[in-house]
Amino acid sequence: MAVRLPRGFRAGATRAGIKPSGKPDLALLVSGLPAQWAYAATQNRAAAPSIHRGRGLYATGAPLRAVVVNAGNANCATGERGFRDDARMAELAAFRLGLAPEEVLTASTGVIGVPLPVERIAAGLPQIELTPYADPFAEAILTTDLVPKVAEAEVAGARVVGIAKGSGMIHPNMATMLAFLVTDAWVPQEALREAWRGIVDRTFNQVTVDGDTSTNDLALVMANGAYGEVPPEALFQALEGVARELAKRIARDGEGATKLLVVRVVGAVTEEEARRAARAVAGSLLWKSALYGNDPNWGRILAALGNSGARFDPLRVRISLQGIPLYAGGDLPFDRERASQAMRQEVVEVLVDLGEGEGAAEAYGCDLTEGYVRINALYTT
């Protein structure tokens, strides 16, 4: 693919021997200039040391220069030792880059409960060649993902590039998902942080693969200003577009998935209720199974909506699937065979009008397949 990073960013990766597969598993993303940054991290109470450390850096408000990521070992539930190992990973990366440790964010993903092989990280870091391209980094951060996920946008001459991993255990609140967005636009940190919260809530937090929330996940944005100032609203829109594109690719690449599900809810009392309603449909195992089987089973959509906490009257709800109206306060006559055919697509869209207010939102999911079960029954931690 060869996606060039925005001005002033470089990245690279190596095989450090953390993944049993021997694939690239240690990666660096570096800004030549101190970058303003924002960050959203897992809400899981068993969060990994890297998440605790990241929260501490975030609280200082100081600029960030680099991220070091290992894929293959989550360094989570590794006791007190895990905190020392995480700090050591930051120190080693900082030494490699000539930075202070507190300028380097750590991220880890992979198996839980196994001590981090710090000596392999120490040996691997000097081997990383930094280039202006996103691709080696994007490949190295994958775990059970099938494909690297990179998206980009331009905004008034500045550029935005996003790189993510997902798969398995993906759910709102940063579930086993890493996302790194970088831009050469200049933006004040406070504005960036405020905008980022909403962007993450509307994109990454609306992805659900299996309802589990991981211990290690984060979504980071770094803005180094190498290009200069752009209208902040335009920048935030570009960041949201890249984040949404990555969110969809994460959902599409969910473990065992064969298609992307996009659920759009309108007519909710509030935007928050629209988000909950959309997530409930995208996360319903019964509907996800029906999606896999190409069964236009709108009863399962309605039941999931009813379980979401969003307020509505079933007699005023409307549901359509791939543009075909299925339900409007009661069963509609529709051609079941045609609706089933329309579901045999890479992307299936459900539109729900709750008929109450102005709240609207989307959620992103995938179908539930025998493949999901097989991957997770046999994937040993």
Shortest separation between residue 291's beta carbon and its own copies, angstroms: 8
Q: Return the DSSP state at 207.
A: B
Structure tokens, 20: 């049993």
The residue count of the chain comes to 381
Structure tokens, 188: 């004040």
User: Closest CB to its own copies among 64 and 268?
Assistant: 268
Query: Binding string to its own copies for residues 48 to 87, with x set by CB under 8 A, is what?
Result: --------------------------x-xxxxxx------
Whether residue 183 is annotated as binding a ligand: the answer is no
Whether residue 143 is annotated as binding a ligand: the answer is yes
CB neighbour list of residue 223: distance below 8 Å, 6 or more residues apart: 35, 36, 37, 182, 183, 184, 185, 186, 187, 192, 235
| Three-class DSSP category at 336 | helix
Q: Cβ(8)–Cβ(226) under 8 Å?
A: yes
Whether residue 376 is annotated as binding a ligand: the answer is yes
Annotated catalytic residue: which of 78, 106, 109, 176?
A: 176
Shortest separation between residue 53's beta carbon and its own copies, angstroms: 15
User: Closest CB to its own copies among 6 and 296?
Assistant: 296
User: Closest CB to its own copies among 96 and 300?
Assistant: 300
User: Closest CB to its own copies among 154 and 379?
Assistant: 379
Q: Is 176 labeled as catalytic in the residue annotation?
A: yes
CA angle 370, 178, 305 (to 5 degrees): 55
User: Closest CB to its own copies among 5 and 280?
Assistant: 280
Query: Binding string to its own copies for residues 269 to 308, with x set by CB under 8 A, is what?
Result: --------------xxxx--xx-xx-x-xxxx-xxxxxxx
Backbone angles phi, psi at 67, to 5 degrees: -130, 135
Residue whose tokens read 């080693």:
92
Structure tokens, 65: 């220069």
**Strands 218-229, 318-321: parallel, antiparallel or unpaired by DSSP?**
unpaired
CA-CA distance, 232 to 44, in Å (whole number)?
A: 31
> What residues numbered 4-33 form the site for its own copies, per CB under 8 A?
none
Whether residue 149 is annotated as binding a ligand: the answer is no
By the rule CB under 8 A, 211 interacts with its own copies: yes
Shortest separation between residue 112's beta carbon and its own copies, angstroms: 3
By the rule CB under 8 A, 224 interacts with its own copies: no
Q: How far is CA 295 from CA 72, 246, 299, 337, 367, in A?
A: 37, 27, 11, 9, 12
CB neighbour list of residue 175: distance below 8 Å, 6 or more residues apart: 42, 44, 169, 209, 212, 213, 214, 217
> What residues numbered 90-109 form the site for its own copies, per CB under 8 A?
none
**Strands 347-353, 260-268: parallel, antiparallel or unpaired by DSSP?**
parallel
Whether residue 270 is annotated as binding a ligand: the answer is no
Identify any residues that bridge with 359 across adjacent strands, giving them in sequence order.
268
Query: Binding string to its own copies for residues 351 to 370, with x set by CB under 8 A, is what?
Result: -----------------xxx
Single out the segment in contact with its own copies by CB under 8 A; choices: 146-154, 179-187, 261-269, 325-333. Answer: 325-333
| Three-class DSSP category at 282 | helix
CA-CA distance, 253 to 260, in Å (whole number)?
A: 8
Query: Binding string to its own copies for residues 148 to 187, with x set by CB under 8 A, is what?
Result: --------------------xx-x-x--------------
**Strands 104-111, 64-73: parallel, antiparallel or unpaired by DSSP?**
parallel
Q: Which of 3, 33, 99, 112 binds its own copies (CB under 8 A)?
A: 112
Whether residue 255 is annotated as binding a ligand: the answer is yes
The footprint of its own copies (CB under 8 A) covers 43-47, 74, 76-81, 111-114, 168-169, 171, 173, 210-215, 283-286, 289-290, 292-293, 295, 297-300, 302-308, 310-312, 314-315, 317, 327, 329-331, 368-370, 372-381
> Which residues fall in the annotated binding site for substrate?
143, 165, 176, 255, 376, 381
Please identify every residue annotated as catalytic: 176
> Which residues fall in the annotated binding site?
143, 165, 176, 255, 376, 381
